[in-house]
Amino acid sequence: MNMSHRKKILLVEDNGIVAENLENNFLEYDIETAYSVNSALDRWEEDGPFDCIIIDLQISPDGLTPNENGQYTPLFGMAVINKLGAKFSKEEIGEFRKKIIIYSGFIKELKDHRWDNQEIWNIRGLCLFEKNALSIDKITKYVNNLLK
Amino acid sequence: MEWPILPSFLSKYVPRNEEYTPNKHGLFESDTLRGFLVDSSDDKSIQNPLSLFQVVPDKYPYETESEDRIESLDPPKNVFLSSILSVDRKIIRIDPRNLYPNMSCCDVFRKYLKDNDICNLCFEQDSQILLLFHKYLLNINYETEFEKFRDCLVELCKQYNDTIEKGDQEYHLKVHSDFERKRLFIGYKCRYSNLYEYFFPVIHAGRVVAVLMQGQRIPPQTSQDEIFPYYRNYSDSLKKSIEAISKSKYNQETMSEERENAIFRRISVLERRIEQEVLGFARMLVSNKFNEIQYAFRKELKNNTNSEGKIALEEYSAILDRALERICLIFNPNGFIRIYTAESSIETINKTNTRFYLIGTSEVLKKQLVPKEIKFLGITQEELDLRDGMDLARFAHPSIQLNKGDIFRIEPLQVGGIRNLIWKNYNEESFIHECQFKLYGESLCSMYHMFLEPYHVLKSIEMQERLEVSMRVSVHEAANIIPTIHTTLSKEYDINNSTYNRIREGATVSDIRSRERILYDSIQRLLLLDSLYRKSTLIFKNSLPVYDWTDLHRAVYSIETLFSESALKNKRQRIIVDMSTYLNKCDFWTDISAFNHILFNLIDNAVKYSLRGSKIYVTVDIPKDQEKYLVSSPDKIDTLIISVINYGFKISSSDRDKMFNLYYRSEQSKSEEGRGIGLFLVDKLCSALSYTIENANSVLVSKIHLPAKHYYIESKPEFKTNEKLPDDIKRLLSDSVSPEILERVVNVQQAVKWKIGTNEISSLLPQGTYENKFVLTLKAPQGQQLLRYINK
């Protein structure tokens, strides 16, 4: 049983430098990092649940079947969201999705429904941040508000 | 209409319900030919009736439809002659008739024969022109094998003469020839009139198409009584016509040099008319057929274009193949056309290594045998344009064997300077009908633009789309880096009260060093951004190497530094540079910008495709036999070998073959970000600098993912009791690995953390560990020193 009162964040990001920068902004939280689909699922199993998930969508597809790999190309992070989401009931899923922050260079494409399968590319209830020079600060403020 | 235009006779006759073709139906109206005969007979140097003989299909009724302007000869009785004629052919004769009459005695003699139902003996004599149509002569080109033609004709005349009754030697046929002018004619004495006659071949495309006959000359020292000596006793009118012959006709040369030259001149005029007529038809045929092919090509393209206005390259290529096949079937059945093209916007970056890709061939059924790609080595693009044939082919790889009739040259398009390689073969007929094939060749050349236009439009669209993707990926990569630079700098250099306090209090050495580190770190990331930008734009640039002396140590370590932090933080990897102390002190002669790109891409590639938690080695070496020069005479070292060794997945031989192709990405590499540009650029830049780049075969180091095993056991030594872990994974984790191999492959630094779970180890562990190595061999340009010592 986890006795810590500190809030927990799962950071799914395969770019170590970006991950380190984010970690340095969240020193008051417990952060676990993952770089692939499998490592994210493992962190959830071993260290979860988390109060917040910050996820980059272009991560390593390791852990996906070839079919899933084709479906989720190029944004494999959506597979993590969907696979973790599958662990929740219909009633719980809304709350779970509120904890998720997508941090990606493909936000515009997601909003424009560039990919057809809306079951896979469902972004309802998720918080979306475009990756740019100011987004780390924006995410920091958002997460601090969320976990207050 | 058949190709090439090759009429075998001149008088035109088109049967009803048949489409006119010069090869089957002749060229000229009979009045045109008759006009020529009248005009020539009246030539002041000839002044003698000329008649024209042709061998035509027996079924064409010229004589009934031409109002006596053409008459058919009765088949010859002589067996030798009749065997030449064969049953389905006949001889026709055109003469000027009353516009330039014969000697009247000959006309009277013919009338006498006709009135007395005697066969036309004159025709029997005229039939001797058949010797010029003998099948042996058909296979000899009059123009290019004149001597052979003449010898064969002499032999045929001899054989024919032997068929004439003994004692008749004065009536034998005799060949007169002029080798210099390539002209000949046959002369003989008429056995009935004792008058001399001569016949001259009219030639087109090396073959006899008609025979011009100069008739009835009285031989010198011939008396009136010797003319028609036999028949004059039976016909008063014949006798009177002989007596009426003007005295001026006696005792003249039967064939003066002046008349001979004049007849040859006239024949040349006729032959030129034939040539012009044939070329006119050839031009029409080429134009019509190419229009049809062009129309069909465009229609096929349109029918295969999708709703977005695009057509698949494979489909375009198949349509082009069919168009080329059609062209060859009509004009050049035994030849071929192959069209290759270079992608100029990409290829021009490399001035000495140009690849051409097959996009169309007429050999639809044998397409797999045609080289798909031709690469020219050691020749600049400018030189490519100036050479052709074997001169060009010897630079080609795979080596090209050209055969007789092969045309092999570069055809640059007018706009955009895009180069195409045309490899075609003309069959043997093209050499005989050179002018006609020239027309065909010119029309074909003008078609290349039309054929290639859709290809280049398609490639341009494809390039544009790929460029968009490239830019997107670059932007994404840049997006990963920019926030970190921004955050670092804004945190450190945010002017606030604490900053003022620090300035007032004065900074310590440690503060200054810490700031220097931050600045250095930011500079490295900006350099990385700059390289990302260059990588995405370099392929579209046209640049020549710019050489200078460069510090070898800095050149290698600056690239290593660029990646060391990201390799460690992204994938827990470590880059190790191995370079001897002596080489560390050397400058090397290179284009530093190109070298940076090469090494940048090789290490970028190694980082991307190495196992997480592994080591990457960059070794700088010289050949063993040159090590002795390292201490005292580095100027004698002409080769530098830089190897980038990493541990990753196995590279298959088919991937190895294609890895330097633009946009090629293996299945395994698709999980990593990338565009398939990096190794293409490495190859191009290496060629530009005359460096070589090779990828060695993957070597199996271990059947398991060594770094994953190391890090998993380190964090979970109690793995054997983990119930969720499959037994086969437990077994693999228990297998021992030699410490040397672990040391070599795994980045075992304490500072490196990698928390591995059950899912991850189960998926990673069975993936083997292979050693992959890229070897870059640097050579200095000819006559240039490669290395020198510097004072550091």
Sign of the Cα pseudo-torsion (B483, B486, B492, B498, in order): negative
As a whole number of Å, the CA-based R_g of chain B is 44
Q: What pLDDT is attached to residue B644?
A: 97
AA letter at B738: S
Tell me which residues of chain B have a C-beta less than 8 Å from any C-beta of chain A.
Answer: 472, 475-476, 479-488, 565-566, 568-571, 612, 670-671, 673, 755-760, 763-764
Q: Cα dist. B129→B55, B209, B215, B458 in Å?
A: 9, 11, 13, 62
Render pLDDT for B70-129 as a digit per residue (tens, 0 to 9).
889 989 989 999 999 988 999 999 988 877 778 888 888 888 888 888 878 888 889 999
Neighbours of B661 (CB within 10 A): 14
Residue of A nearest to B489 (CA): A133
Asked if A140 has any chain B CB less than 8 Å from its own CB, the reply is no
pLDDT, tens digit (0-9, with 9 covering 90-100), for B740-786: 999 999 998 767 788 999 999 999 999 999 999 999 999 988 888 99
C-alpha pair distances (Å), A11 with each of A80, A104, B482, B609: 12, 13, 19, 23
* Other beta carbons within 10 Å of B727: 7
Q: Percent of chain B scored above 90 by pLDDT? A: 43
Tell me which of A10, A11, A13, A17 to substitute to probe the interface with B (most B C-beta atoms closer than 10 Å). A17
pLDDT tens, residue by residue, B423-465: 999 887 777 788 899 999 999 988 888 888 888 888 777 777 7
- CB-CB neighbors (< 8 A) of A18 in chain B: 480, 483-484
Q: pLDDT digit string (tens) for A106-122?
A: 888 888 777 777 778 88
A43 contacts B755? CB cut-off 8 A: yes
Q: Which of B469, B723, B755 is the best mutation test for A, with the most CBs of A within 10 A?
A: B755
Measured between beta carbons, the chain B residues lying within 8 angstroms of A21 are 483-484, 487-488
- Is B566 within 8 Å of A17 when comparing Cβ atoms? yes
- Give the confidence band of B603 by pLDDT, cuts at 50, 70, 90: very high
Render B375-419 in DSSP notation, one character per residue.
EEES--HHHHHH-BHHHHHTTEESPP---TTEEEEEEE-TTTT-E
Write out chain A residues lying below 8 Å of B485, CB-based. Answer: 133
The pLDDT of residue B498 is: 63
Please give the Cα distance from B666 to B660 (Å, whole number): 11
Decide: helix, strand or coil at residue B633: coil
Q: Where are the beta strands (DSSP E) in B256-382?
A: 336-341, 353-361, 373-377
* pLDDT at res. B274: 96
- The span from the CA of B126 to the CA of B73, in Å, is 8
B-chain CB neighbours of A25 within 8 Å are 487
Chain A residues inside the 8 Å CB shell of B472: 105
Rg (alpha carbons) of chain A, rounded to whole number? 14
Nearest CA in chain A to B674: A74
Q: Which long-range contacts (CB under 8 A, 24 or more apart) does B408-416 make?
A: B410/B384, B410/B385, B411/B445, B411/B448, B412/B385, B413/B448, B413/B449, B413/B452, B413/B456, B414/B449, B416/B344, B416/B456
Whether the predicted pLDDT of B410 surpasses 50: yes
- Hey, of A10, A11, A15, which one would you mutate to test binding to chain B, going by the most B CBs within 10 A of its CB? A15
Residues of B in contact with A132 (CB under 8 A): 479, 482-483
From the list B480, B612, B760, which residue is nearest A15 (CB)? B480
The total of other beta-carbon atoms located within 10 Å of residue A124's CB is 7
Cβ within 8 Å, pair A133-B760: no
Say if CB A18 and CB B484 are below 8 A apart: yes
Residue B345 confidence (pLDDT) above 60:
no
SS3 B588: strand
Beta bridge partners of B323: none
The segment with the largest mean pLDDT, out of A37-41, B167-171, B302-306, B542-546, is: A37-41
The rounded Cα B580 to chain-centroid distance in angstroms is: 49
For residue B670, pLDDT over 70 is answered with: no
- At A25 the three-state DSSP class reads helix
The stretches of B332-373 forming alpha helices (DSSP H) are 344-347
**Given this model, what pLDDT does residue B577 score?**
95
Calpha distance B400→B412 (Å, rounded): 20
**Distance (Å) from the C-alpha of residue B475 to the closest C-alpha of chain A?**
8
B231 beta partners = none
A:B CB pairs within 8 Å: 92
- pLDDT the model gives residue B792: 47
Cα–Cα distances (Å) from B717 to A44, A64, B17, B704, B706, in that order, read 21, 27, 98, 18, 16
Give the lowest-confidence range in B38-42, B270-274, B504-508, B536-540.
B536-540
Q: At what angle do helices A77-85 and A90-98 cross, to 10 degrees?
A: 140
Q: Answer positive or negative: Cα dihedral of B302, B303, B304, B305.
A: positive
Residue carrying the six token digits 């190895």? B656
Average pLDDT over residues B604-629: 93
For residue A19, the chain B residues in CB contact (below 8 A) are 569
Task: Write the CA distances from B257 to B45, B172, B483, integer angstroms.
Answer: 10, 22, 101
User: Peptide bond preceding B49: is omega within 30 degrees of 0, i.e. cis?
Assistant: no
Which band of pLDDT confidence, cut at 50, 70 and 90, is reported for residue A17? confident
Q: Is B304 exposed, middle or buried (0-12, 13-18, 19+ CB in 10 A)?
A: middle
Q: In the β-sheet with B336-341, what is the strand arrangement from edge to edge?
A: B396-397, B373-377, B353-361, B336-341, B419-425, B406-412
Nearest CA in chain B to A39: B760
Cβ distance A135 to B759 less than 8 Å, yes or no, reads no
**Contact A18/B at CB under 8 A:** yes
Give B365's contacts (C-beta < 8 A, 6+ positions apart): none
Contact B55/B77 with Cβ under 8 angstroms?
no
CA-to-CA dists, residue B307 to B302, B311, B312, B453, B457, angstroms: 11, 9, 12, 20, 16
The three-class DSSP label of residue B549 is strand
The share of chain A scoring above pLDDT 90, in percent, equals 48
In Å, how far are B27, B82, B692 from B688, measured between CA atoms?
Answer: 59, 73, 10
pLDDT tens readout for residues B136-195 = 999 899 999 999 999 999 999 999 998 887 667 888 999 999 999 999 999 999 988 999
Rounded to whole angstroms, how far apart are CA atoms B325 and B364?
Answer: 7
B200-236 residue pLDDT tens? 999 999 999 999 999 888 988 888 889 998 888 888 8
Region of B206 on the Ramachandran plot (φ > 0 left; ψ -120 to 50 alpha; else beta): left
Q: Position of tokens 């989720």? A: A72
Among B752, B760, B762, most A C-beta atoms within 10 A, so best to mutate, is B760
Apex A26 CA angle, A24 and A28, nearest 5: 115
Q: How confident is the model at residue A143 (pLDDT cuts 50, 70, 90)?
A: very high
The complex's ipTM? 0.89
pLDDT surpassing 90 at residue B361: yes
List, in sequence order, every residue forming a beta bridge with B375; answer none if it has no partner: B355, B397
Nearest C-alpha neighbor of B596 from the set B514, B654, B534? B534
Q: How high is the pLDDT of residue B416?
A: 62
Nearest CB to B486; choose among A20, A105, A133: A133
Identify the burial level of A48 via C-beta atoms within 10 angstroms of its C-beta, where 0-12 means exposed, 13-18 middle and 19 or more buried.
middle
Phi-psi map region of B738: left, alpha, beta (phi>0 left; psi -120 to 50 alpha): beta
pTM for the whole structure: 0.59
